[in-house]
Structure 1
Amino acid sequence: MSSKVAKHIIVSGRVQGVGFRYFVNQKAKECQLTGWVKNLPNGTVEIELEGDEKDLACFVDYLKAGNGYSRTDQLHQSEIEPGNYTNFSIQY
């Protein structure tokens, strides 16, 4: 049985203006993860999400691959306390 984990992720590269947040939103829902994604003023994308460890690992692979228009240069991940989210959303 997988345990529930939560992560804070900062993605840098070509991740703004290329449909990346929408892609993250879709993949998070596919992987049954909850949390949120938003663009940061410095050109990076911030993600906070939680779910089963195996689903999170699968999601991170999607982030690295990108959506065909994006490019992930760096992925900074840190474990955080679960926020008990009920869904995944795009924040503006």
Structure 2
Amino acid sequence: MKSEFWKDMADKMQGLDKFMAYQEQKVLHGDVGSGEYADIQDTLNNLNARDWLDEPERIQLVQANIMLETLKSIDRLNNSIQELNEDTNY
């Protein structure tokens, strides 16, 4: 069961990395919308709800959550910068 968790987390992290690269490309083209992280957040929440995770697995899960929150913050910052650039009053 433990090796299944590590395989699952490795797949999730690889998927998160691919999603990050995809989002970075979308940000460069001004194409990021809200709620695009919902599937990843749901997956991380589901993993967090499992009570059989040991400490290293919990740490890895926290790291994935931090990465996701960082991506969300970057998107919000980028959107704010784009709005400021489009506003002629600034």
Above 0.5 in TM-score?
no
Give 1 or 2 for the bigger CA radius of gyration: 2
Q: Which has the higher helix share?
A: 2
TM score, norm. by length of structure 2: 0.32
Larger RCO, structures 1/2 (Cα 8 Å, 6+ apart) = 1
Question: What TM-score, normalized by structure 1, do the two folds share?
Answer: 0.31
